[in-house]
Structure 1
Amino acid sequence: MSYLHPLYVDRYVLYAYVGLALLIGARLDALSRTVAVPRALAGGLAVAAVAALLPYSLQLRTPQSRLDDTLAAAPAVRELGRPGDGVLFLPARRREPIMSSPEDFRGLRELALARHAIPSGTLHGIELPAPRIRARMLTAGRIVTVNDPPGQPLDDTPQERVKREVLAEHFHRCAVRDVTGMRIVLYGRAGRC
Structure 2
Amino acid sequence: MTFKYLIFFLLSLLLISCSSVISTPKKEYQLTKTAQIKSDWKQNSKSWSLQKDTLMGTGGPMVWGVMESKKQLPKNFEIDLKVNMTKESLFEIMLHIDQDKYIRTYLYQIDQNIVIGRGTYNKGSNEYDKRGGPSLFTKSISLKNNHWYSVKIRVLNNQLFFSVDNDTKLECSLEKSNLSQHGKLGLLTNGEVKITDFIVKSI
User: Which TM class, normalised by the smaller chain length?
Assistant: under 0.3
| Higher relative contact order (Cα pairs below 8 Å, separated by 6+ residues) | 2
Bigger fraction of residues in strand: 2
Q: For the pair shown, which has the larger CA radius of gyration, 1 or 2? A: 1
Bigger fraction of residues in helix: 1
In the superposition, the TM-score normalised over structure 2's length comes to 0.27
